[in-house]
Amino acid sequence: MSAIPELARVEQRNFWQTTTPALRSYAGRALPDAAEVVVIGGGLMGLSAARRSAELGADTVLLDAERLGFGASTRNGGMCHPGFKHGVLQLIAEHGEAKGLAIYQESVDAYEHVHELCTTAIDADFKATGGLSLACAPSHFAGMARSVEGLRRAGIRAHLVPQADLREEIATDAHAGAMVNERYAGLNPAKLTHGLAALAEAAGADLHDGVRALRVRPQADGRVVVETSRGPIIARHVIAGTNGYTGGVTPALRRRLLPIRSYIIVTDPLPDDLAREISPRRRMFSDTKNYLFYWRLTADNRMLFGGRASMWPTSTLRTAAILQRAMVALHPQLRGARVAYTWGGNVAFTYDRMPHVGRADNVVYAVGCCGSGVAIMPWLGRRVAEWVGGGRPPELAALRFPLVPAPYEGRAWFLPLAGEYWKARDRIAAREAGRRS
């Protein structure tokens, strides 16, 4: 039992999955011998790819080793926004203005795609409240001016909030200022995932869970054989959307992806006046640390608070204690608020901290959301299906996908060491904030 009273009765279950009506099972269904397109992975990307592929007239089969939506697609914080870890101006500096803006525009189109889905086809509690990036040091706030300039060049409304005005946005004094991005929303990721499954099935995609893809091998006639735990399927094209749960079926991807654990706690519903005090505009919050935190109010006024918490082997109860202490340090008003749920899951990071699209191991893939997958992954699923169907590739397909520069075959033994380095950088920033406050 936890020594923190607020964690005494916490459920080690995913809040979104637990409180959203369960998606029906697609297990045990007869597998076809052949299909034009086989999609591996039943998350936001895979379901979107299967839906679009079927809409384009392809005989499409989707496989997931677990249940549909098992991974990050339903385990995230439900924050939907354009953008990558690389900002607009960084992309322009790396690729030139035209290409840099085109790459960033993919993420803007992605956000608008999810917005449209949630307006016309899926009830996922989508609310465009705006997002607040909170500076953990004065130097971080100084750098936000360039971020605002870049967002405005991409057509996104953004502005700075100096420290003196932060209470208009959030009830904490722990930060040196903030940046508001108005094109930012909260949603229920389980409802979004379930809605995409329904749309994919309605379009004619053949969905299967509990079927693990084991290997993809080419045939002499140009087709491939997808060997699965329930027998082979011959396919003309294979699309992989395994992301933070990528395994040996695509060895080239496994050498390029880092599955980093992220953890979340969710409180009981808060009183209306307390919720308004903490988040008067109901923004989506995140900070600028390397070991970052992200937090928000849910539709029923619960506080959802998440972050990396630990890179060492640990348990969700231990990380729940870390997150609860951090939450109360930022918002002392939440001392005594019972933590009702805690869970964790993998986030797929890449060495260059950008998503990647391409062809390898006889598959077409879109992976590496780096913590921003709610918007970009449904969009890349759609775009990859169109590419396989003869359309133009996404702009991200032009990027080189670097290997992780360490001896690595799927077990990231070096992550705890990297985590300690990032924590040290955060401590240096905190000392800077203390000196200048």
Residues 6+ apart with CB under 8 A from 216: 224, 225, 226, 227, 238, 249, 250, 361, 362, 363
- How distant, in Å, are the alpha carbons of 83, 112, 198, 252, 285 from that of 348? 16, 23, 25, 15, 21
Residue 258 pLDDT: 86
Report the DSSP beta bridge partners of residue 61: 38, 206
Quote the pTM value: 0.94
Q: What is the mean pLDDT of each run of 10 residues along the chain (437 residues)?
A: 84 96 94 98 98 98 97 96 96 97 97 98 98 95 96 97 97 95 98 98 98 96 97 98 91 89 96 97 94 94 89 83 96 97 93 95 94 96 98 96 78 61 62 54
Dihedral of alpha carbons 154, 155, 157, 160, sign: positive
Torsion angle, alpha carbons of 372, 180, 343, 349, to 10: 30
Report the DSSP beta bridge partners of residue 64: 209
Residue 315 pLDDT: 86
Superfamily of domain 5-398: FAD/NAD(P)-binding domain (3.50.50.60)
Backbone angles phi, psi at 21, to 5 degrees: -50, 135
What does DSSP assign to residue 127? B
Residue 3 pLDDT: 81
Domain ranges of the chain: 5-398
Residue 410 pLDDT: 61
